[in-house]
Amino acid sequence: MSTPVAPAPVDPMFEPTEVTIDQAGEIVRPPTTYWKDAWERLKRNRVAIASLVVILIICVAAIIGPAHSPYTYDQQDLVMNNKPPSAAHWFGTDNLGRDLFTRVLWGARISMTVGVLASLIALGIGVPYGAISGYFGGHVDEIMMRIVEILYGLPFQLYVILLMVVLGAGLQNVLIAIGIVYWLDMARIVRGEVLSLKEREYVLAAKTVGASTWSIIFRHLIPNAMGPIIVTMTLMIPQAIFTEAFLSFIGLGVAAPMASWGALASDGYPAIRVAPWALLFPAAAISITMMAFNFLGDGLRDALDPWLHR
């Protein structure tokens, strides 16, 4: 005769419940996608969302602001030179009597254009370059990475300044000078991601069914590396804005009378004692934009990396 087994003691922290087999098979959490889940995580980051709102406001102001301003960016009035902020001139005027608020809006248009286009150049060159280098490996990877390291040999700012001296001032030349070397960081990041992703099971499955090399790179590896790519692009935009501002500040950026934030800061610096607002508002615009992009980039990094939440 077998000895009856005593039932296991019930933990007082848990209460038994009656669940049927059909109820146990139901999906408790609704199905979601990677991007939808990342968006939900991003929305919980208040600093990142606030930064996104600030960036959108700056972009909208840069697009529609100059068209609704009663002044143009090159409209001079020597009688109104170096006037403090007022109802007529929200940010005051500069040494030539030009409305500083209108010029800051135009500067936002130029600076944001440089930042976005420089990031797109890095995306178009650095992503394929890094993906090809990481996927093929071996001698191909060695040669391609040695090229990157040679370009890294010169300091970035010095390299851009030398190119601007050769090409001359102008918005187009600024984009060319920045874009030539701006893709290096993107290439190295994508290469590292591809080195990890190419050993995954779905890549082996694609090879098994006869997918071509380029199909694997552009349809499987690069789309699965979009998280780090997007974060890197977000962090590259403020770097490009700062580089353009630096070039314009030393006189190698956009040509006068066009107004970028760096050119406005350069014009306002000599008159800092007489009209400090001429330097304050462009510098504040640069600082706010760079902080907003950096905070948004940190939020995107946390949202697009699910391992940080496990």
Give the residue extent of every domain in the chain: 62-73+87-309
SS3 99: strand
- At residue 104, φ and ψ (nearest 5 deg) are -65, -40
Residue 218 burial class via C-beta count within 10 angstroms: exposed 0-12, middle 13-18, buried 19 and up: middle
So what's the pLDDT on residue 178?
Answer: 79
Structure tokens at 192: 């590292």
List pLDDT tens digits, range 136-195: 988 988 999 998 888 877 777 777 777 777 777 777 777 877 777 788 888 998 998 898
Mean residue pLDDT across the chain: 81
Task: Check: CB of residue 186 under 8 Å from CB of residue 123.
Answer: yes
Task: Check: CB of residue 243 under 8 Å from CB of residue 160.
Answer: yes
Residue 65 burial class via C-beta count within 10 angstroms: exposed 0-12, middle 13-18, buried 19 and up: middle
pTM above 0.85, yes or no: no
So what's the pLDDT on residue 54?
Answer: 93
List pLDDT tens digits, range 210-243: 888 888 888 888 888 888 888 888 888 888 888 8
Q: Where are the beta strands (DSSP E) in 4-156?
A: none
DSSP letter at 93 equals: B
Reference 269, options 248, 252, 290; nearest CA is: 248
CATH ID of 62-73+87-309, from 3.40.50.2000, 1.10.3720.10, 1.20.1250.20, 3.20.20.70: 1.10.3720.10
Residues 28-31: contacts with CB under 8 Å, at least 24 apart: none
